[in-house]
Structure 1
């Protein structure tokens, strides 16, 4: 594991798309997670934004984010499918292999797991011709799916090669979740891992959970949950996950800083995460008792 496994998320950086790409590249990153609005909202249009990304040399790991898609019916379902088609076209245009999708918060959505799985499979089918995979993430305030175990149940039930689960350690920690059930998820079905931390031990209310998630996250190694993050990354390492890690760090303070300074903090965080995995792995290999066990 090294810096090449980690990428910035543009939501963390202030400035234009050009500035975000340049800062990420200058800090040594080779990949980046984009938001659809980075491209669709570019002042010179989508094609110009796509050229900027491709000229940067950065590999796009995914496009954020399809919201409130699953479990709907009638015209509302048709509307969301149309939105999904547009986002998939953006993914294809910029060379993104992944469309991120977070669990629905809509009061109009069904909680029937079979309906959710059916909708995931439908979106995965739409994505196949464009060479895009669907990644399904459990928001900790999702109406029906708010635990990674539930998102995995839906993905497993969808039974489609083109859809996987997205693991976000913030939502796991904020919900007081455990890592025990990660063993049930094949590494090949993990589409992406998102990492961040926050500055207090406990989330006291649903409102605080959302506020922290959207405005007050920090990089791994900077917050109060270093142990939990280290354990999660080490567990994924042991399970054979070799995919991408993205720093999804929503932080209003970082948005008041030069993007270069924030990207350098992210680089330090990537080194911190890597050190946690390698140091522990070396200790296990050097421990004769561990080898015997």
Structure 2
């Protein structure tokens, strides 16, 4: 694990696309997770935004985010499928290898796991000829899928080579997830790991969960769950995960700071993460009989 494994998430940085790319690169990051609106909302249009990204030399980790996709039926399903096709085309245009799909919050969506799996597999099949992989993430407030173990269950049932699970530390921490389930997920089926923390131990209401998630996350090493994050990171490393980590930190305070300052904070977080993974508990050597230690 080294700096090349880590990237910024554009949602964490203030300013236009140009400044986000520049700040990430200046801080030493070689990749960035983009939101589709970063490209669609560029003043010069999508084509100019794509040229800008490619000229920056910064690799695109993936594109966010396809919402409320799975479990729908009829016209709603067809509508979402059409939107997904357009987002896959954006991925292809900018060279993004991953489209992120987060679990549905829609009251119109079915919670039937076989249907969810079929819809995810359908999307993964559409993504194959475009060279894009699909990653499925459990939102901690998802209507039917809100634990990472459930998202993995859906991905496993879909049984599609082009579909993986996205692990997000915020949602896992917010739900006090049992990390033992990580051992059930093959490392090659983890499409991405998103990292962030928050400043208090407990989330006391649904409103506080949303407020924290959307406005008050912090970088790893800055929050109240360093112990749990360290354990998560070590388990992923021991399980063989060698893929990308993205700092998805929604924080209104950071959006009032220069992108360069925030990117440097992210660089410190990357150093903190690697320290947690590389740090090992070494057993103290005990002197053998007849070989006392020297005073």
TM-score, L = length of structure 2: 0.96
1:133 aligns with 2:126: no
Q: Alpha-carbon deviation of 1:2?
A: 1.2
1:244 paired with 2:244, answer yes
**SS of the residue 2:164 aligns to:** strand
What is the rounded CA distance, in whole Å, between the counterparts of 2:188 and 2:154 in structure 1?
16
1:91 alignment counterpart? 91
Question: CA 1:287/1:182 → structure 2, altered by over 3 Å: closer, same or farther?
Answer: farther
Q: Within 1, Cα distance between the matches of 2:124 and 2:2?
A: 31
Q: Give the number of aligned pairs.
A: 286
Distance 2:46 2:188 in 1: 32
Alpha-carbon distance change, 146 to 52 in structure 1, aligned in 2, over 3 angstroms: same
Deviation (angstroms), 1:128: 0.4
Distance across 1 between alignment mates of 2:4 and 2:188: 19
**CA 1:50–1:207 in 2, change beyond 3 Å: closer, same or farther?**
same
Correspondence list, 1:136-175, <5 A: 136-175=136-175
Q: How far did 1:178 drift?
A: 1.3
> Which consecutive unaligned segments of at least 5 residues does structure 2 have?
287-295
CA-based RMSD: 1.0
1:287 shift after superposition = 6.1
1:179 aligns with 179
Which residue matches 1:71? 71
Question: Aligned equivalents of 1:84 and 1:177: distance in 2?
Answer: 29
Secondary structure in 2 matching 1:276: helix
Q: Aligned-pair distance for 1:288?
A: 6.8
Question: Secondary structure in 2 aligned to 1:83?
Answer: helix
Query: What SS is found at the alignment partner of 2:279?
Result: helix
| CA distance 1:287–1:19, change in 2 (3 Å) | same
Instruction: Output the CA distance in 2 between the equivalents of 1:28 and 1:287.
Output: 37
* Local SS of the residue matching 1:61: strand
Normalising by structure 1, report the TM-score: 0.96
Q: Which residue of structure 2 aligns with residue 35 of structure 1?
A: 35
**Could you say which structure has the higher helix fraction?**
1
- SS across alignment from 1:223: coil
Aligned to 2:100: 100
Task: State the match for 1:189 in structure 2.
Answer: 189
Aligned to 2:56: 56
Q: Residues of 1 paired with 2:158 and 2:284: CA distance?
A: 42
- For residues 145-198 of structure 1, what are the alpha-carbon distances to aligned partners after superposition, in whole Å with 9 as ceiling and x for unaligned? 000000000000000000000000110110111101000000000000000000
Paired with 2:242 and 2:176, the residues of 1 have a C-alpha distance of 26
CA–CA distance in structure 2, aligned partners of residues 149 and 276 of structure 1 = 24
